[in-house]
Structure 1
């Protein structure tokens, strides 16, 4: 039987709603054999997740999802199988978290000016003392009745031209890939179909990513349609990149993205794990 991989998910260390221990337990229940915890711009949850995975009998791959500004657009680069103690990687992530702290305060100020008081404090409460993301603001806004649901709240308040939008100032593409490579890991473009790019623009991104030393595209994603999966598989082959899979799971509140419930990779896609040495109860780093 083929192993079940899910190489993109989030815990309460960033904007997920399950702790690392709860996330690993849910993944084990879902039949996941190899899991990567890829919190946004932090590896804080990894020690807890590694210990939980060892007890649960699954392989935990070290992971992170790095925020990048490329050609004026925010994209995400997942790092897999790296050394979390690498100084250059941790210094880079620390810089991104400092910007996140300022951005969260600024989002709160802008929402207050538009007649929504207490948003920063509310978002901070949802973060449980960890980094504050737009998702935490979205949860606050929905809970306070400013929007009907999580799918609508971003478009109403947190995207370009809306009251709570603050432009990101993230890592450069080659920086993010370099941090991951220097730490001994593999870099992956997360959910590439979700960026809404034209074919030409997306292939430009992929080409620059490959030139920087990137390894793979996330071909199968919780947000990709069947047609998008096959399109991304073609792009990965065209650029001699591997293919990765990940649900982008944030918690049980998002039923459209569940742990381990993913389409299989197309037959002619080369999986990123093709030369991994996988052992249950051990972490891959």
Structure 2
């Protein structure tokens, strides 16, 4: 495929914490001019066959995708997998294992919110969950907005769901090595999602990229919904420095919550190697 392409390789459906079905996302992406699309639900690949069929029905090429939560330097980091076999048993088992702690974590989050007078948060969050195995902070945020505790989900995270706040409960995810291995063993490529979003020192970020590459990771997101224009430039330079391919994705979750719509990001800088060039034989 051409190197200059409207590719959106990061978004979420109701299968994890998005608000649209894979079919509705595909229609929206195609309407916005997306030529190559991937659905990357959190720690889940259950929507992949639906997404591929919907992509083809809307005239788009498709890459399989997921976004795996890992713990690195006491921070939750997201690793996107692209172009893997969605029926790979190792990938399925790994994702089931990493999803396992979400239910207990959600109960603890609800207990923390109850201590500050917000009751019934677990039951309230469940109303927004398409897949109970994947209950997350986003579902709690939607409950708190619906019930008037905050004006939007961004305010909820600031007041209640980040470290040191009443509803925050840490979760130990997969290791970086595990996530990259699941992806590469299933014939996919691992990508560090939105690297500018993590609260790492320069040394910690350098260590992340070095370890990621040592385990077989090959790309980072450069143009993504949570990066500023300055960060597009910064991470383009980092991709060149470490020999990474570059990915592009909106991280779209919902028409009412997301900063950037599907397919509306700037194109990748021409000096970079687009990740889809490494995945030509996996594009469907």
TM range (shorter): over 0.9
User: Could you tell me which residue of structure 2 aligns to residue 238 of structure 1?
Assistant: 241
User: Could you tell me which residue of structure 1 aligns to residue 108 of structure 2?
Assistant: 106
Q: CA deviation at 1:49?
A: 1.0
User: Could you tell me which residue of structure 2 aligns to residue 146 of structure 1?
Assistant: 149
1:200 aligns with 2:203: yes
1:71 aligns with 2:70: no
Q: Distance in 2 between matches of 1:162 and 1:88?
A: 36
CA offset digits 1:159-183 (Å, max 9, x no partner): 1111111011100001100000011
Identify the match of residue 212 of structure 1 among 215, 238, 247.
215
Q: Distance in 2 between matches of 1:25 and 1:106?
A: 37
Where do residues 260-275 of structure 1 align in structure 2 (5 Å cutoff)? 260-275=263-278
TM-score (norm 2): 0.95
User: Could you tell me which residue of structure 1 aligns to residue 53 of structure 2?
Assistant: 51
Consecutive unaligned residues of structure 1, counting only runs of 5 or more, are none
Q: Distance in 1 between matches of 2:249 and 2:206?
A: 21
CA offset digits 1:13-51 (Å, max 9, x no partner): 011110111000111111101111000000111121111
Determine helix, strand or coil for the equivalent of 1:37. coil
Q: Distance in 1 between matches of 2:270 and 2:108?
A: 47
Q: Distance in 2 between matches of 1:60 and 1:102?
A: 35
Determine helix, strand or coil for the equivalent of 1:77. strand
CA offset digits 1:204-229 (Å, max 9, x no partner): 11111001100101011011111101
User: Could you tell me which residue of structure 2 aligns to residue 10 of structure 1?
Assistant: 12
Contact 1:100/1:133 (8 A) holds in 2 = yes
Q: Distance in 2 between matches of 1:200 and 1:98?
A: 31
Consecutive unaligned residues of structure 2, counting only runs of 5 or more, are none
TM-score (norm 1): 0.95
Q: Distance in 2 between matches of 1:221 and 1:129?
A: 25
Q: Distance in 1 between matches of 2:263 and 2:81?
A: 19
Determine helix, strand or coil for the equivalent of 2:212. helix
User: Could you tell me which residue of structure 2 aligns to residue 256 of structure 1?
Assistant: 259
Determine helix, strand or coil for the equivalent of 1:276. helix
Deviates most, 90-99 or 195-204: 195-204
Where do residues 154-165 of structure 1 align in structure 2 (5 Å cutoff)? 154-165=157-168
Question: Which 4+ residue blocks in structure 1 deviate beyond 3 angstroms?
Answer: none
Determine helix, strand or coil for the equivalent of 2:63. strand
- Equivalent pairs, count: 281
The alpha-carbon distance between structure 1 residues 136 and 155, as it changes in their structure 2 partners (threshold 3 A), is same
1:226 aligns with 2:229: yes
Q: CA deviation at 1:198?
A: 2.4
The alpha-carbon distance between structure 1 residues 275 and 69, as it changes in their structure 2 partners (threshold 3 A), is closer
User: Could you tell me which residue of structure 2 aligns to residue 284 of structure 1?
Assistant: 283
CA offset digits 1:109-159 (Å, max 9, x no partner): 222233211100111110134421100000101111111211111011111
Identify the match of residue 28 of structure 1 among 30, 33, 57.
30
Where do residues 119-130 of structure 1 align in structure 2 (5 Å cutoff)? 119-130=121-132
